[in-house]
Amino acid sequence: MPDNWGFVLAAYAIGALVLGGYWRRLRRRERQARQRPAIRRAPARPALSTHPRPDPGARP
Amino acid sequence: MLGWLTVTGLAAGLIMGLGVAPREVTQGNVQRIMYVHVPAAWVAYLAFGVVLVASIVYLATRARAADRLAHASAEAGVVFTGLAIVAGSIWGKPTWGTWWTWDARLTTTAILFVIYLGYLLLRGMVDDPDRAARYAAVVGIIGALDIPLVHFSVLWWRTLHQPPSVGRPQASAMDPIILTTLLVNVAAFTLLYLYFVVRGARILRRQEEAVA
């Protein structure tokens, strides 16, 4: 059987590209996560089932 | 520490795979692809097994750490499964005469890859993090049912893919140097998987803290 070194090197090169590419992607995401300022979620407000009624005491 | 151990392991695996291990008698040098293909497939099993356990733990306890572990492991698992498929395809061309065939092992592996790719897409599509984690955990558990199908497909059906050479009592004895090279590469890929998961889970925790 021929040695097919081309196939061997192709498999190893793709392995290096895939694993190296994922490692670089993780590094980039880690840098972004570190730089991103904390975004605080707004506290949940209770949902209104009807239109708010005006306070009768506040009428002139 | 883990990073350096991984780099050392990968370097040792590369040197052994391309230089130290002897040329295989029947397949020639193309058999050296095994040192990439088999460790990648093993790590894929491990990664999706971790997704299964972490998903069960998340559904039982709602612990965010379990969800982050499942998420990071699924991501790494998809990467290693993709690599196992591509390396196997490159190995298949000179040995089987084709890049791809709808053989039981190849088909079940492709299904595994698509299931967990769907798992990652699902997580990205649901806005509510708790709901996304719950849905993903269910997919992570159901998807793991494919792992035994992948592994035993070569024994249950007639396939072009060879049966496992390691861990089977009736398997032919492997040259000790070839076996050692394979085990060194399996160890190195496992370390790389651990490194990816630790880093991935840390990133996910930071992202959660940023929007909390």
Segment A27-54, tens digit of pLDDT: 999 999 888 765 555 555 555 555 555 5
Give pLDDT, residue B139: 96
Whether A48 maps to a domain, the answer reads no
Q: Is residue B73 part of a domain?
A: yes
CB contact under 8 A, B86 and A18: yes
Q: How many domains does the structure of chain B reveal?
A: 1
pLDDT, average across residues B74-93: 96
Structure confidence at residue B169 (pLDDT): 59
Per-residue DSSP letter, B28: B
- The burial of B29, by beta-carbon neighbours within 10 Å (0-12 exposed, 13-18 middle, 19 or more buried), is given as buried
Q: What is the ipTM of this complex?
A: 0.90
Q: Identify the domain containing residue B41 by its residue range.
A: 2-17+33-160+177-211
Number of domains within chain A? 1
Is residue B172 included in any domain, yes or no?
no
pLDDT digits (tens, 9 = 90+) for B26-70: 888 999 999 999 999 999 999 999 999 999 999 999 999 999 999
Report the mean per-residue pLDDT for chain B. 92
Mean pLDDT of B166-184: 79
pLDDT number for residue A37: 62
Find which of A24, A25, A26 to mutate to test the B interface (most B CBs within 10 Å of its CB): A26
Q: Identify the residue among B24, B90, B209 best suited for mutation to test binding to A, counting A beta carbons within 10 A and taking the highest.
A: B90
B95 domain-assigned: yes
Within 8 A by CB and 6+ apart from B133, the residues are B58, B64, B67, B123
Mean pLDDT in chain A?
Answer: 76
Which stretch of A18-32, B21-35, B166-180 has the lowest confidence by average pLDDT?
B166-180
Average pLDDT on B131-155 reads 93
Contact: A37, B40; criterion CB under 8 Å: no
**C-alpha span between B131 and B60 (Å, rounded):** 14
